[in-house]
Structure 1
Amino acid sequence: MKLRYAMVCSSNQNRSMESHFLLKREGFDVASYGTGQHVKLPGPSIREPNVYDFGTPYKQMFDDLRRKDVELYKRNGILPMLKRNLGVKLAPQRWQDNAADGPFDVVITFEEKVFDLVLEDLHNRNQVLLKPVLVINLEVKDNHEEAAIGGRLALILCQELDATENWEDTIDDIINNFEKQHRRKLLYSISFY
């Protein structure tokens, strides 16, 4: 079964884009989103993040940070991350502003607060299609190493979901097997479009 997937994280485009990159490379129908008010990337200090509006092209962010301090942003992995993102899509998108992109069959989030936001957003929409959507949270720390691990785990999970005839009948088994095999606790819920 070919499912449509959405990868959703907060605002820095690392975890969702790593998963988007890996799934796209494997031929999945996938999109990625953030849920924050802006895209926030690390800056020279914790008090000085680089803030961009959703929809700002990754190329523009890349060029801006190269101008500011190429060595800093290479060293902290932001330039390589933006270069990867450039190969995936034009610009970051905000989940709440892209309802027309759906419906998705599966939405994977990477932190519990984003899981809650996605469920709340789906609940508050007019559910006219009554099409089920599986929302799963795979908790992943927000750093480059964990994003890479989380991306591979999201790919494995999506491969398992795609291999089933009907995820609605087998989701409990899929989740239980995944948790045992990968020692990661997943949250999941079903909502509707």
Structure 2
Amino acid sequence: MAKYAVICASNQNRSMEAHHVLNFRTNIKTSKKGFNVKSYGTGSMVRLPGPSIDKPNIYPFGTPYEKVYQELKSQDQQLYTQNGLLSMLDRNRKTKEAPQRWHESRELFDVIITCEERCFDSVVEDLSNRGQNLNESTHVINVEIKDNHEDALLGGRAILQLAQMIESSNDIDADMDGIIEEFTLRNPGFPILHTVAYF
């Protein structure tokens, strides 16, 4: 099984929806657990909507989802229930402890799926800056997903489909172009970028 990273800006919405879907995808017939997946953000801080556009809630990476959930709930439960933040954080805290920053991780992955072009650029640049000393290749794929709850749900399903297609390949290096072509035909609403990078 390939090892996956899913990445957005704050490791809160899009990457966590994909992480949740991939993590808990079980096959009843084989009782096989979900995919081997971790999730990250590429931002400098975690940014969440606040009471107004110019007052976002900002947290350092590593702040537990549980802590953010309780803080926002005590600040304005009605607002953060209405805008979906509390249900998003509830999902997150059931998936893993806290948001992680990509640039601080030193794990290797076979496939890295980003959810936004600037996150894709940030990951590719970071891998290049690391010096590629291990000479281990990875496929970096961007599935462009708007940062809202509805699109994150659809994007999570699309990423699950992409991962299933990758898993059905015996040679992802040889088959990746064909997999991406087929995925794009099936999911015209999700533009794709792809490159091979090295750890």
Unaligned residue ranges in structure 1 (runs of 5+):
none
- Render the CA deviation track for 1:47-94: whole Å, top value 9, x for unaligned: 010011100000100000011000100000000000000011000000
Counterpart residue number, 2:111: 106
Which of 62, 65, 78 in structure 1 is aligned with 2:72? 65
Q: Quick one: distance in 2 between partners of 1:22 and 1:174?
A: 20
The residue matched to 1:64 in structure 2 has which SS? Answer: helix
| C-alpha contact (below 8 Å) 2:10/2:99 kept by paired residues | no
Which of 158, 161, 166 in structure 2 is aligned with 1:156? 161
- Render the CA deviation track for 1:12-62: whole Å, top value 9, x for unaligned: 610000000000002100000001111111001100100111000001000
Counterpart residue number, 1:117: 122
Aligned residue type for 1:185: P
| C-alpha contact (below 8 Å) 1:12/1:40 kept by paired residues | no
RMSD (CA atoms): 0.8
Counterpart residue number, 1:21: 20
Q: Does 1:192 align with 2:198?
A: yes
Q: Does 1:91 align with 2:90?
A: no
Counterpart residue number, 1:134: 139
The offset of 1:126, in angstroms, is: 3.0
| Deviation >2 Å, runs of 4+ | none
Distance 1:129 1:12, change over 3 A: closer
Aligned residue type for 1:129: L
Map 1:170-189 onto structure 2 (within 5 A). Answer: 170-183=175-188, 184-189=190-195
| C-alpha contact (below 8 Å) 1:12/1:41 kept by paired residues | no
Unaligned residue ranges in structure 2 (runs of 5+):
26-33
Which of 33, 37, 56 in structure 1 is aligned with 2:40? 33
Q: Quick one: distance in 2 between partners of 1:70 and 1:34?
A: 26
Q: Does 1:76 align with 2:75?
A: no
The offset of 1:130, in angstroms, is: 1.0
Aligned residue type for 1:14: N
